[in-house]
A and B are shown apart, each in its own frame.
Chain A
């Protein structure tokens, strides 16, 4: 679903602590600025990355984020892949419901992140970890 050619090497960041979530955020912001995303889009993408990185840490038990600048011929964008080897999500529809949480949060992270980006793909299942790819295109 996510198309586009990678521009340069994706930059990886391990997610093992709260500080790493901040690093992911900073990395995403740097790439988003370089890809000429508008301030609103930058903020949306950074916020989505923050949510997903925290999910990777809290529910996935840690993982990695890969941030890449991409180009689909017409527009530039930023693609981020979050991967963990955690327990996976058993009921995806439920997890994507606003207000549903198993961790005491607001229950808006995953569903909110989906609304904040242009492309959102999720590959998960019980016992096989979670891989989420999000892309935000410049306008």
Chain B
């Protein structure tokens, strides 16, 4: 429901006439709901921004929140929601910051209890509802972008390339290997091969719950890319159930060395490079 022109101007009048009273009560109501998690001064500034935005919108002849005159108000609302979302407030706590205006307005208007005032209040109230919904949407958008950021950070976190011996780097893969992660892994591995000048790389898939054709293809491509750079890849951490699944799927790893565990893979590389390891105490046999 949109405001009518005269309602809009009455709203502007009401808000500017009772400026002190409305903002004071508004701040009070919001402060109650947030229980001191936001400073009084900050809250007052936000409420005054909103208050000013509403007056400007109403004076500019805004009949609903979508109209051009309400642009400033929308910006203030979006800013408020973004701030709240980032500070970890809930959606309800954010929306209440707007809806509290209704109570403040009601207290102001109920002194004149005639039919016209009631109609005005209903119209104002639906305008505030629109503002609340807008706040909610901005809030959700901010949260979504936060989640997307975190997913990206996780992507970075979960793909370390570690040097485990002179000339040997290892990539322990953990979790689902989708295209985006496979790309990150490949880039990291190739870069580390260049940086460390390592001729051997071990890709450990112990932490990958299921190896399907897509995962296998990503691994194969990584191995081929590493080979083009002159490095040999060994795939380790192939558990029995994964081995059986790979066989049933019909995936061929060709001449790529595969080992059951990271230790086996390292031993394999060390043997290739001619490094011999021995126990400190010589064994009885041999």
Contacts and interface: CB of A to CB of B under 8 A. Distances in A.
A22 B217 CA distance: 17
Contacts, number: 66
A18 B248 CA distance: 24
Interface in B238-274: 240-242, 244-245, 248-251
B244 A46 contact: no
A111 B250 contact: yes
Nearest to A99: B250
Interface residues of A, number: 24
Interface stretch (A7-15, A36-44, A70-78, A121-129): A36-44
Nearest to A51: B212
B249 A112 contact: yes
A18 B179 contact: yes
B211 interface: yes
Secondary structure at chain A's binding surface: helix, strand, loop or mixed? helix
Secondary structure at chain B's binding surface: helix, strand, loop or mixed? helix
B34 interface: no
Interface string A100-139: 0000011011011101100000000000000000000000
Interface size on B, as a range, is: 20 to 34
Nearest to A40: B241
A79 interface: no
B191 interface: no
28 contacts: A18-B178, A22-B176, A25-B176, A25-B209, A40-B240, A40-B244, A43-B210, A43-B241, A43-B242, A43-B244, A44-B248, A46-B209, A50-B214, A51-B213, A54-B212, A54-B214, A98-B250, A105-B214, A105-B217, A106-B251, A108-B249, A112-B213, A112-B250, A113-B249, A115-B248, A116-B245, A116-B248, A116-B249
